[in-house]
Structure 1
Amino acid sequence: MIITAAPSFKQIIREVWKPLALLFVWDVFVTVTYYVLPFTAPSLPLTLFGSALVLFLGFRSNSAYQRWWEARGLWGLMINASRSLARQARNFLPDEADELKRSIVLRQIAYVNALRCQLRRQKPDDEVHRFLTRGEADFALARTNVANGIVDGTGRRINVAREKGWIDTIQQTSMESVLVDIANAQGGMERLKNTPLPSHYRFFPTLFTHLLCILLPIGLVETLGFATPLGSTMAGLMFLAVLAIGDDLVDPFANTPHDVPLTAMCRTIEIDLLQAIGEAAPEPLKPDAGGVLW
């Protein structure tokens, strides 16, 4: 996620230079053609087309942003649930179960990092092995859904604590309720990841935006004359920018600079949970040189 007030100039140029160059070349071609072979283009259809496209692109961008914001809200719930689980483990379990307390905390840290990797379509093996023992890690990694396997193992350990008399059934129910919240948040994230916007939301805005960029210089050349390449290119760039916003936000877990900062939030959970049981914690993740928090 880009956290600076505006993307860096280098980042902007890297994202727009290709469409900008193509637009400019096309605009120059239309302008030269107009002065060699003069033509007249009706302006009203282009105006109506542009107005309709603005509404279409705005609706699509809003839909994409709603998906992005829902993803951020689900990860906020995940952070809160992780803190609650660590607090319950620390307060409910007796001193003789210190190893179990630490196991539950480390398993939750491993869980959020495994979930992050799954959502980004990355292998979670290294992250799981960082926090779990070889046997625990292998058991989870054998599951199709590694993150869900880790949560299942945590639930079994809570049940063992109840069988040993370390917690009662009410405390077990309370901890299970937190695990349910965690599972519900994961399900929402997987729904966003596995259910893209319908193809019509992606195909038609792209088609109509590119078509408008082709028609723009034809409709503007009579008015702007030799300034058509500059004016048409900038106008087309605005439409392409709105189109790009929807493309950038539609998948909040694609591991791009515009996504939800999963790595930073996993680090936040790791810090909070380790400090909750009195262990040393790493420093918070900071933005990179480009102002992107991953």
Structure 2
Amino acid sequence: MIVRQKPNAIKIFFTMRGSVLPKIYRQILFITLLSMITTIIQHWIPNSFPYYSTAPFTLIGIALSLFLGFRNNASYQRWWEARGLWGQLVFETRSLTRQLLSFIDGDDEIGRQTQQSMIHLAIAFTHALRHRLRGSSPWEDVERFVEPQYHASMREARNLPEYLMRLLGKKLGDSRRQRLLSEHMVQNIDERLTSMTIVLAACERIHNTPLPFAYMLLVHRTTYLYCFLLPFALVASLGWATPLICAMIAYTFFGLDVLSEELEDPFGLAANQLPLSAMSRTIEINLLEALGEADIPEDIRATNGYLP
């Protein structure tokens, strides 16, 4: 995710990090080249492209803008919902840790081991969820927080975060049977686990349910056809200004199209997607610090304005 402050009036034209320009420059160059060719032909062979009313293109452009705006709103809503879910996960893991440290006797060896085991599993769940959403290998981040006797069964699990949540539930049940927690506190802590499970399910829903393909296809086709036909309609009236105007329109429409695709799946590593690595590290630091452990990693900081 881009975390830099707003660039000034000069830098805003040259900022590439976070811009969609690297993804659409080929389309813009093609439209600009096509516009230049039509302009040159019109200049050397007058009336090659007769004057057309721009009213149809105006109406199509308005309709296309509405379609692109609707799609961008839908993509941003998915992005914002995902950010809210990870904010909820931060809250739930901190609340779970506070309850475990407050209501399980840490002076007792069994109690201390139970606290550490469950809090470590909450950290492992956070890393496992991030890796599941990004399709990356979780074992380096997860195994160090899970007791070795569970490693074999953990690697066989099809849904690693859900497996870790079941393991947390089992630990909570063991705490109840050992009378480390009262019935009331068991219920409260189970509510935290349920909320974390809801976060998992909601993130999977966003990740596994893209916007309808037919709608995306309609917007793609309309955008390309509109930008390809635009130079032929404008060259008779705009002359040598046609390439510049067409390039600006192509940048706007293609840019909105690509930006909505990037925001549609908020869990990736693109510049405008969520910084899941940084949020996972924040949860890990907070929970290890609450446990009083000495080996606490550093915060993940932004590099060149980008936070992974």
Is this contact kept in 2: 1:53–1:209, CA < 8 A? yes
Q: Report Cα offsets for 1:69-101 as digits up to 9, x if no partner.
A: 000001111110000111111111112111111
Q: Given that residues 128 and 137 in structure 1 are in contact (C-alpha distance below 8 angstroms), is that contact kept between their aligned partners in structure 2?
A: no
Residue 134 of structure 2 aligns with which residue?
A: 120
Contact kept in structure 2, 1:46 and 1:215, CA below 8 Å = no
State the partner residue of 1:9.
15
The runs of 5 or more residues in structure 1 that have no matched partner are none
Instruction: Say whether 1:49 aligns with 2:60.
Output: yes
Q: Give the deviation of 1:140 after TM superposition.
A: 2.2
Name 1:189's counterpart in structure 2: 203
- 1:269-284 pair list within 5 angstroms: 269-280=283-294, 281-284=296-299
Shift, 1:283, TM fit: 2.0
Match of 1:155 among 169, 194, 218: 169
Q: Pick which of 45-54 and 211-220 moved more.
A: 211-220
Q: CA RMSD in A?
A: 1.5
Taking every aligned residue pair, what percent have the same amino acid on both sides? 33
Task: Confirm or deny: 8 A CA contact 2:51 2:237 kept in the other structure.
Answer: no
Partner residue of 1:253 out of 267, 283, 290: 267
Show the 5 A alignment for 1:130-279. Answer: 130-279=144-293
The code of the aligned residue for 2:31 comes to L
My pick for the range that moved more, 120-129 or 99-108, is 120-129
Normalising by structure 2, we get a TM-score of 0.91
Q: Tell me, which stretches of 5 or more residues in structure 2 are unaligned?
A: none
Q: 1:63: how far off?
A: 0.5
Q: Secondary structure at the match of 2:285?
A: helix
Number of equivalent positions:
293
Give the whole-Å Cα distance in 2 for the aligned partners of 1:38 and 1:20.
22
- Contact 2:97 2:287 (8 Å CA) reproduced: yes
Alignment partners' CA distance in 2, 1:14 and 1:43: 30
Contact persistence 2:31–2:227 (CA under 8 A):
yes
Alignment TM-score, normalising by the size of structure 1? 0.95
Describe how 1:59-98 pairs up with structure 2 within 5 A. 59-95=70-106, 96=108, 97-98=111-112
CA contact (8 A) 1:216 1:236 kept: no
Counterpart contact for 1:140–1:147, Cα < 8 Å = no
What is the deviation of 1:245? 1.7
- For 2:146, the aligned partner's letter is L
Counterpart in the other structure of 1:286: 301
SS at match of 1:196: coil
SS in 2 for 1:41: coil
